[in-house]
Every structure is written in C-alpha cells, then in structure tokens.
Amino acid sequence: MTLLFLSLAAIIAIVVILVSAKHIKAGFEARGDVKEQQKSEKRKQEDEKILDELNRKNLSEEDLKDLYEKIQNNKKDKDE
C-alpha cells in the first residue's frame, strides 16, 4: 500500500513539473520579447532625438551626406 502511494505521488509530481515547465518556458520567451521590444523602442527614441537635433541645425544637403558617409564608415569599422 505504501509503495502504491509513493508511486502515485511520484507520478503526480512528474506531471505537475511537466505541465509547469511548458508555462515557464512560455514566460521566458515572453520576457525576451518584451526586452527586445524595449530595446527597439529605445533605439527609435534615440534616432528621433538625433534627427530632431539635425533638423534644428539646418544643415545643407552636402553636410547631411557627409554625416551619413561618416556614420556608414563607423558602422563598417565596428562590424569588422
């Protein structure tokens, strides 16, 4: 009788762990998605801030092209 009770308890524990693991995994994935979304929003805000600053400076078309080329060169250097 004790053996039956212990085996039943072990089976219930295993089922609870398996069912919970599915939800815990989904929670971790959702958390990762939220963090990624926050990072992208932060980048967008930074980009908008930079664009606003550039608009306030009233730069010429040539100045903007030079800035763009410098940015592209910096990105290439960081990637290498």
Predicted confidence (pLDDT) per residue in 15-69, tens digit: 999 999 989 999 999 999 999 999 999 988 888 888 788 778 877 888 888 888 8
The span from the CA of 46 to the CA of 64, in Å, is 18
CA angle 33, 51, 35 (to 5 degrees): 10
Question: Any idea where the domains of the chain sit in the sequence?
Answer: 2-79
Per-residue pLDDT tens for 25-38?
Answer: 999 999 999 999 99
Q: Is there a contact between 59 and 67 (Cβ–Cβ < 8 Å)?
A: yes
